[in-house]
Amino acid sequence: MDKKTHSFQAEVKQVLHLVTHSLYSNKEIFLRELVSNASDACDKLRFEALDNAALFEDAPNLEVRVSFDAEARTLTIRDNGIGMSADEAIAHLGTIAKSGTREFMDKLEGDQKKDASLIGQFGVGFYSGFIVADRMTVETRRAGLPADQGVRWSSEGTGDFEVETINLPERGTAVTLHLREGEEEFLKTWRLKSVISKYSDHISLPILMRKEEWNAEKAESTVTDEWETVNKAAALWTRSKSEITEEQYTEFYKQISYDTEPPLAYTHNRVEGRSEYTQLLFIPAKAPFDLWNRDKRGGVKLYVKRVFIMDDAEALMPVYLRFVKGVIDSADLPLNVSRELLQESRDVKVIREGSTKRVLAMLEDLAENQAEKYAAFWKDFGSVLKEGVGEDHQNQERLAKLLRFASTHADEGVSLADYVSRMKEGQEPIYYITADTLAAAKNSPQLEIFRKKGIEVLLLTDRVDEWMLSHLFEFDGKQLQSVAKGAVDLGSLQDEEEKKKAEEVATAFKPVLDRLKESLKARAKDVRVTTRLVDSPACIVVEAGDVSGHLARLLKQAGQ
């Protein structure tokens, strides 16, 4: 085929115009896009070769090579993947297959920052090369076609592109960027390496670059003929669990979390079905210093098909699990989906729900089988988990089972199930009291009758407890009831005689109560005879359904 000039589809022209005129920040992402295309091309070859091994020709080791020529000012990304025929090159590099171009452009036009990271999202990654190049040349031959059916595609990224047939012994695609004035940074090994390791470390193919050597004579580094792999080329999470050692998991955790200690627990799963993704999630052994900052973004990195998309993808985890670290690799999301789109995506919702369940299952397993580890976890993260009781109604029951408290029975580690198993014959509610400190809770006069009767009371001293209990009304069919609210009705726990006596006393003391009520009119709603005190003469209680004394104090402290 002779050299022929083709016109870009109108949408491509618009995209190109925007790309070259508006995208300056974050322009390094062009390399991620081109490496990701190279990796896709290798995936496609691998897939087609399942039926036709001859496609591998004599080069079965798939790889990507990144090289540059400083004098010619060119940068080349070469893969030995599937390649393109002439028709494919014209179609794939001249039109935009995916819908959503309009949306892409509206976004870019509206976006003040003109951030190039938007680009991969809309299936126009190839064109991002023109951010830094004033000419792109693609030399490609489709696997299985003869050497004389190679193709050279070339364009300045304006209105049209040229295509001609060339002889190309090597299968696959080489994309060469002729760099614009001012883009010399992409002609430096260290710069390219740093971009590759930032975005493409976990591409499972090796990415090779020429090795550099220090030339003492010239006092500068020079490029040698030897190639070396510059990415880690191992997406740990894509390998099967049985192939990964405990040490490898730990090393990986340390690398992504910057933690110096091994994780407390991890979970690694491949999920198929409605949404396809892999999750590798860790629970740290210790709380980070900024755990209390709810605005802090989460610790889960998002990948799409092994390509790094973003750190701290908070939409992937509920806020109350912000301490979880790890990686989620989706097979469904578009490359470089934005944070805004993540919030709206249904796939992300499915991932978030699935991951939440995994983390809860991991905690349940610890609680059940490794009580000491769970106690350590609870000490550092329990208060954060309690936020979930109010925020995640879908999982409230599971979360309630994971709660641990102090009680009149034990200073720590009391679960609601433990409590229920120790309930007295005839006891209906689960009793609790809230206070600022454990000592204050223990010494509360409101506990006297419960002590006397040997009824366990949960002692809640965490600031979040009161709020949590405004969302958790019952456990295992039993109401949670504050001993400091309303007239504590001990129901059948009180024998007939006690009840009769209380009534008699109330009648006998009616004149006294009336006088007290009159004199305390401005400060107390009611004055009653109570059976809840044993040693103390009187105590103050709050009407059922009102803000408790403890919460009232907290609110006052907070200036409300």
Binding site for ligand ADP (CB under 6 A): 33, 37-38, 40-41, 79, 81-84, 92-93, 123-126, 173
Smallest distance from Mg ion to CB 142, Å: 17
> Is 33 assigned to a binding site?
yes
Residue of minimal CB distance from Mg ion?
Answer: 125
Is there binding between residue 128 and Mg ion (CB under 5 A)?
Answer: no
Nearer to ligand ADP, 37 or 444 (CB): 37
**Which amino acid type is present at position 326?**
G
Q: Which long-range contacts (CB under 8 A, 24 or more apart) does 178-181 make?
A: 178/72, 178/73, 178/74, 178/133, 178/134, 178/135, 178/136, 178/137, 179/73, 179/74, 179/75, 179/132, 179/133, 179/134, 180/132, 180/133, 180/134
Task: Compare residues 83 and 125 and give the one whose CB is closer to Mg ion.
Answer: 125
Beta strands in 121-243 (DSSP E): 133-141, 150-155, 160-166, 172-179, 207-215, 220-229
Residue 100 marked in a binding site: yes
Q: Which stretch binds Mg ion (CB under 5 A): 120-128, 252-260, 443-451, 478-486?
A: 120-128
164 is in an annotated binding site: no
Contact 147, 169 (CB under 8 A): yes
Q: Which of 83, 199, 177, 164 is nearest to 130 (CA)?
A: 177
173 binds, among ligand ADP, Mg ion, none (CB under 5 to 8 A by kind): ligand ADP
Query: Smallest distance from the beta carbon of 157 to ligand ADP, in angstroms?
Result: 13
- Termini Cα distance of the chain: 80
37 is in an annotated binding site: yes
Helix 346-369, helix 371-391: angle, nearest 10: 140
282 known ligand binder: no
In angstroms, give the least distance from the CB of 385 to Mg ion.
40
CB of 248 to ligand ADP, least distance (A): 31
The residue number whose beta carbon is nearest to ligand ADP equals: 125
Determine if residue 332 is labeled as part of a ligand binding site: no
Task: Report DSSP letters for 329-382, one per residue.
Answer: EESSSPTT--HHHHHH-HHHHHHHHHHHHHHHHHHHHHHHH-HHHHHHHHHHHH
The residue (of 87 and 340) whose beta carbon lies closer to ligand ADP is 87
Nearer to ligand ADP, 11 or 380 (CB): 11
Q: What track of x and - describes contact with Mg ion for positions 70 through 109 (by CB under 5 A)?
A: ----------------------------------------
The residue type found at 118 is L
Cβ proximity of 469 and 496 under 8 Å: no
Which lies closer to ligand ADP via its Cβ, residue 38 or residue 205? 38
125 lines the binding site for Mg ion (CB under 5 A): yes
Query: What is the β-pairing status of strands 478-482 and 474-475?
Result: antiparallel
Which of Mg ion, ligand ADP, none binds 82 (CB below 5-8 Å, type-dependent)? ligand ADP
316, interface contact from Mg ion, ligand ADP, none, CB < 5-8 Å by kind: none
Q: Which of residues 304-333 bind Mg ion (CB under 5 A)?
A: none
Closest CA to 122 of 14, 196, 21, 203: 14
Among residue numbers 8 through 37, which ones bind Mg ion (CB under 5 A)? Answer: 37
Residue 268 is encoded by which pair of tokens? 């690694």
At 309, which helix (H) or strand (E)? strand 307-310
The DSSP letter of residue 547 is P
- Cβ proximity to ligand ADP: between 37 and 531 the closer is 37
- Tell me the residue ranges of DSSP E strands in 9-159: 64-69, 74-79, 133-141, 150-155
Instruction: Give 207 or 449: the residue with its C-beta nearer to Mg ion.
Output: 207
138 vs 490 by CB, closer to ligand ADP: 138
- The reply to whether 39 sits near Mg ion by the rule CB under 5 A is no
339 is in an annotated binding site: yes
Longest alpha-carbon distance in the chain:
114
Under the rule (CB under 5 A), what is the footprint of Mg ion?
Answer: 37, 125
Give binding residues for ATP as ranges. Answer: 33, 37, 79, 84, 98-100, 121-126, 173, 339
